[in-house]
Amino acid sequence: MFTHVKALQFDVRVAAPDPRFATMLQEQFGGANGELAAALRYFTQAVALREKAPKQYDMLMDIATEELSHLEIVGVLIKQLLAGLDDDLQAAHERCNWIDMIGGQKQDGLIHKATLSPKAAIIDGGGVGVHDSEGVPFTGAYVDTVGEPTVDLRNNIAASRGPRSSTSGSSSSRTIPACRTR
């Protein structure tokens, strides 16, 4: 059973749109070592232990629930970083230079691309998709649960290094003054 608390665990604010950083964060959302994979990994591991190890079941369900809250925070941050991409392209271009930030394409070229390829418009259209930073769809292959607690714990430890190293690498290589939490 889950209960949704309407307030985010951390209040996320973005000062300015940044589609490039939003694309990097998409890896944290739907990538192989992202929050969605972690939540599903812990959830499936917990289910395997429900009857034979109730204390471990409770612990893993708590962790899975925590990972879902991280998923929500990352999703809200991505959406805020893509502000202006989900409504009128002309109005968005007047509010920020996001078109220049996503590869320097001319506005007409971007509109033409979106018209010819609805998939590109859907993937890059201002929302949060269930895919990684390259647009590769999320897959159940990312959830590597074997049902043996010691093996699963090792997999969890290894998987948790992926997001930490990708996040610290991106933030150390560039300053992101637009993103703040309270």
Residues pairing with 12 in the sheet: 181
Which range scores top for mean pLDDT: 23-27, 48-52, 86-90?
48-52
Report residue 175's pLDDT band, with 50, 70 and 90 as the boundaries: very low
Backbone dihedral region for residue 174 (phi beyond 0: left; psi -120 to 50: alpha; all else: beta):
beta
At 118 the pLDDT is 40
At 171 the pLDDT is 43
Could you give all domains of the chain from N- to C-terminal order, each with its CATH number?
12-82+127-181 (1.20.1260.10)
13 pLDDT exceeds 80?
Answer: yes
Contact of 99 with 90, CB cutoff 8 Å = no
80 pLDDT exceeds 80?
Answer: yes
At 121 the pLDDT is 43
Average pLDDT on 132-139 reads: 84
3-state secondary structure 46-81: HHHHCCCCHHHHHHHHHHHHHHHHHHHHHHHHHHHH
At 20 the pLDDT is 75
pLDDT > 90: what percent of the chain? 24
Residues pairing with 121 in the sheet: none
37 pLDDT exceeds 60?
Answer: yes
Q: Could you give the angle at which helices 35-49 and 54-81 cross, rounded to 10 degrees?
A: 160
Structure token pair of residue 143: 């959830």
Cα distances (angstroms) measured from residue 88 to each of 22, 41, 85, 110, 160: 19, 38, 8, 13, 39
Element containing residue 14 per DSSP (H, E) = strand 12-14
Q: What angle do CA 84, 89, 92 make, to 5 degrees?
A: 35
Structure token pair of residue 72: 């929500």
Compute, in degrees rounded to 10, the torsion defined by CA atoms 82, 83, 89, 92. -130
pTM for the full model? 0.70
- Other CB atoms within 10 Å distance of the CB of residue 26: 25
CA distance 14 to 8: 15
At 168 the pLDDT is 46
